[in-house]
Amino acid sequence: SAVGRGPEVPFSSEAYRISAASRGKELRLTLAPLGPAAPQDLVFRFGMSGSFRLCPAAQLPRHAHLRFLTRESPPRALCFVDARRFGSWRLGDAWQLGRGPCVLSEYQAFRENVLKNLDDKAFDKPICEALLNQKFFNGIGNYLRAEILYRLKIPPFEKARTVLEALKDQDQARRKKNASLTLSKKLKLMRENPDILELCHTVPMEVIAVDKKLFDPDHSDNYAAFKNWLQCYLVPGMSSLRDRNGRTIWFQGEPGPMAPKGQTSHKKRPQLKTDPEALTPKVTTRTSKRHPRAAAKPPKSTEEEEVAVGPRKGCTRGRRKATAASALSEPEVPVKGKRSRRTSARRGRGEVGSP
């Protein structure tokens, strides 16, 4: 498309086959002509909103930045759709340098890569920040780290090395204890007593195992199913803080000893609306009849007022705003009374009745 940020794809073929392979947060497409021409490889990163969608060519979705057309009648298009344009693609078959083994398809190599490199400075950081380092946790993103830490009740701002060093001794003990067990029994034990690295593999597998349309924004019921699967991320009652990279981490309980200073933990509140399309119930009050603008912008909650009046400069203004908000529910002062006070003030200054 004209607004796509990726490079031009120098490929054209009357007939070709598309195959795909994934590794961590990347996807490689191979376009293989059915004739003698050479294949073309593309490696995609999806950002926050990237996805592939197959649709009629006459009904392309918005933000379809790359399209592969079929020759059937009517034709269809396989589209790389990315509303926020954080995603990208590049030519060639090479995975991005600096990314570790995939948590899904290369689990054993992923585990060894983490445990043998615990001296790396990446593990001086809180565990919630280390989990987003794709050099060691290739495939783990923001919602997955919250779900993994929540299930093990690990404070998100505990030092990463402290959390992971204990796994070295556990691995040695397991090898001795489970040497005679069959593979199925080893997998059963892993599911019953998982550690954090095992959850980096099994939690994403849960997402893959559910309905393929789970993340389709055009199917609100499926998105609701995904929200029901979440146990921590964006769940009402959970607390949240921003890490040092500016990413929000959701958790329950204490944040841990390396929590950022100067932040207050906020809790996710339950909302009346269960989906974005739900209509807000209309509430008619005396205030809304008199002042439609005031009714359209409801007063701040008590917690928000306390934040606005907090240790910032201009706290007097904050108090005035809070007072004005609470005054909306009080009886209004008659207009005549206001005028009479202004009139008397002007008379006192000699403004009214002067020649």
Q: What is the CATH number of the domain that holds 51?
A: 3.20.190.10
Rounded to an integer, what distance in angstroms lies between the CA atom of residue 205 and that of residue 103? 10
What does the pLDDT read at residue 214? Answer: 55
**Do 86 and 136 reside in the same domain of the chain?**
no
Domain boundary pick from 91, 126, 143? 91
Residue 349 has pLDDT above 50, yes or no: no
Query: Do 135 and 98 form a contact (C-beta atoms < 8 A)?
Result: yes
Residue 344 has pLDDT above 60, yes or no: no
Sheet holding 64-69, edge to edge: 51-56, 76-81, 64-69
**Do 49 and 119 reside in the same domain of the chain?**
no
Helix axes 196-209, 142-152, angle to 10 degrees: 120
21: domain range? Answer: 16-91
List pLDDT tens digits, range 89-105.
999 999 999 999 999 99
Query: Do 103 and 132 form a contact (C-beta atoms < 8 A)?
Result: no
Q: How far apart are the first and last CA of the chain?
A: 75
Domain count, the chain: 2
What does the pLDDT read at residue 168? Answer: 81
What does the pLDDT read at residue 176? Answer: 60
List pLDDT tens digits, range 63-94.
999 999 888 899 999 999 998 889 999 999 99
Confidence band for 330, pLDDT divided at 50, 70 and 90 = very low
Confidence band for 276, pLDDT divided at 50, 70 and 90 = very low
**Do 162 and 41 reside in the same domain of the chain?**
no
Which residues share a beta bridge with 43? Answer: 28, 90
- Say if 121 falls within a structural domain: yes
The enclosing H or E element of 55 equals strand 51-56
Residue 341 has pLDDT above 90, yes or no: no
Domain boundary pick from 224, 247, 266? 266
The mean per-residue pLDDT over the stretch 126-131 comes to: 98
- Which string of DSSP letters, residue by residue, matches 176-198? HHTTTS-HHHHHHHHHHS--HHH
Residue 228 has pLDDT above 90, yes or no: no
- Say if 239 falls within a structural domain: yes
